[in-house]
Amino acid sequence: MNVIEKIIEQMNAVVENPSRVVSDYKKETGKGVVGCFPYYTPEEIVHASGMLPIGLWGGETQVAEVHSILPAFTCPIMQSNMEFALRGFYNELEAVIIPAPCDTLKSVGQDWLYVIPQVKAILLVYPQMRKIEGGVQYLKSEFMRVKKEIEAIVGKEISDKDLSQSIDIYNVHRAAMRSFSEMAPLYPVTVTPSIRHLVIKSAFFMEKSRHTTLVNALIQELQKQPVEKTNCKKVILTGIIAEPNGLLELFQENGLTVVGDDLAHESRLFRTDVPADGDPLTRLARQWSLIEGCSLAYDPEKKRGNMIIELAKKTKADGIILCMMKFCDPEEFDYPILASEFEQAKIPLLYLEVDQQSQSLEQLRTRIQAFAEMLVSQQK
């Protein structure tokens, strides 16, 4: 096993076995683990308390019990999360944090209080008028409450110094992820779509400075190698999440390489640093006002389309694949506008409806194959 394979192996181990991550962390540190729901959960506050924040972004499973809690037309990530919770998979967590940037998450947070009483839920609501000072101050007050609830769990106050340190660790991590994302397209053979996804996803299950070390080591190893040439067609992914894993394998099978993304589960999390000035909670609150191009963050100018087009130009992408999370209102509202903007910019677009619980990938296979063939024929 070479160095790169060893790094990938470590990343794979945490993604494949999150419950092991939880028990190991407790054993090693004597401290607990907090589950962070999508989106933009302030992990830094949890990190500063010494607990481990881990991401809860659903997973591939057969849902059954959740049907007594949520209708079948609920977002698949939330169906999986509630299913896992009902089956007791989250019982080892000290708490979960559930933000509410959409109607589904508002509801799921409330449902949790009634159906999963054994795991503490810390709920918060992000402001939509995030660019006015009143919005920043309001969000700071929400973070203050989250901080107090986290402090109550660990029985210790989180100092400004601890929190600033955690913010720094997260900003360093974001920078490492951006570097990785920029250089990955140079190594399409080594960094396949699945590997790229794994490298990014594994950050949800590792203490961030440890993940930064691994990512930096990976970058270093890659740089030692010559740039890899392939005939792969380059695509940008946009949407909430590029899962199930079979989906990424289909990209690879059909000669597609991912040269950039605008996924809520990936780049949207590390595109925007926490700004430098002010006390730590204000800094965290201000980051939300700086985020652009996300379907969950109010933007009457709808800059997202242009941002993706710019990214496609910069990465010389041949096409864009929109991974539409089934039943996701914010993304579904953005789609018609994005589609017309991409058409105007003459960038081919593939719309894929994705569902973590989907049992068959055959329909996706046909569509991805057709898209890949179209991209190849366009070049001729």
Partner 1 sequence: MSEEKLTSKQYLAELSAKHYQDAIDGKKRGELVAWSSSIAPQELCETMGIHVIYPENHAAAIGAKGGALPLINFAEGRGYSVDLCSYARISLAYKDMQECCFENVPLPDLLIICNNICNTLVKWYENLSKELNIPLICIDVPFNNEYEVTQERIDYIKAQFVEAIRQLEEITGKQFDYDRFHEVMEISNRAAKSWNKAMQFTKIVPSPLNGFNIFNYMAMMVTNRGRESSVKLFDMIAEELGELAKNGQTQFPVEEKYRIMWEGIACWPYLSHNFKTFKQYGINMVGSTYPEAWTLLYDAGDLDGMARAYASVMNNCNLARGIDLRVRILEECKCDGAVYHLNRSCKLMDFMQYQLAKEVHKRTGIPYVVFDGDQTDPRNFAKAQFETRIQALVETMELNKAQRKQN
Interface residues toward partner 1, by CB under 8 A: 68-71, 73-74, 100-104, 106-111, 113-115, 123-129, 132-135, 137-138, 141-142, 295, 298-302, 326-327, 329-330, 332-337, 339
Least separation in angstroms between residue 30's CB and partner 1 is: 31
CB half-sphere exposure, 259, CA atoms < 13 A = 22
CA 184 – CA 180 distance, rounded (Å): 6
Decide whether 44 or 334 has the Cβ nearer to partner 1: 334
Per-residue CA distances from 39 to 55, 147, 163, 337, 359 (Å):
10, 17, 20, 22, 26
Query: Nearest 5°: phi and psi at 89?
Result: -65, -25
Least separation in angstroms between residue 156's CB and partner 1 is: 25
Least separation in angstroms between residue 333's CB and partner 1 is: 4
Decide whether 30 or 71 has the Cβ nearer to partner 1: 71
Least separation in angstroms between residue 288's CB and partner 1 is: 12
Decide whether 9 or 65 has the Cβ nearer to partner 1: 65
CA 349 – CA 371 distance, rounded (Å): 8
Decide whether 31 or 106 has the Cβ nearer to partner 1: 106
Least separation in angstroms between residue 358's CB and partner 1 is: 16
Least separation in angstroms between residue 267's CB and partner 1 is: 21
Decide whether 9 or 329 has the Cβ nearer to partner 1: 329
Residue 15 has a CB neighbour count (10 Å cut-off) of 18
Decide whether 124 or 364 has the Cβ nearer to partner 1: 124
Decide whether 9 or 103 has the Cβ nearer to partner 1: 103
Which two structure tokens, joined as six digits, stand for 226?
A: 């010559």
Least separation in angstroms between residue 281's CB and partner 1 is: 13
Decide whether 55 or 109 has the Cβ nearer to partner 1: 109
Least separation in angstroms between residue 127's CB and partner 1 is: 6
Decide whether 21 or 98 has the Cβ nearer to partner 1: 98
Least separation in angstroms between residue 123's CB and partner 1 is: 4
Per-residue CA distances from 103 to 31, 108, 219 (Å):
33, 9, 39
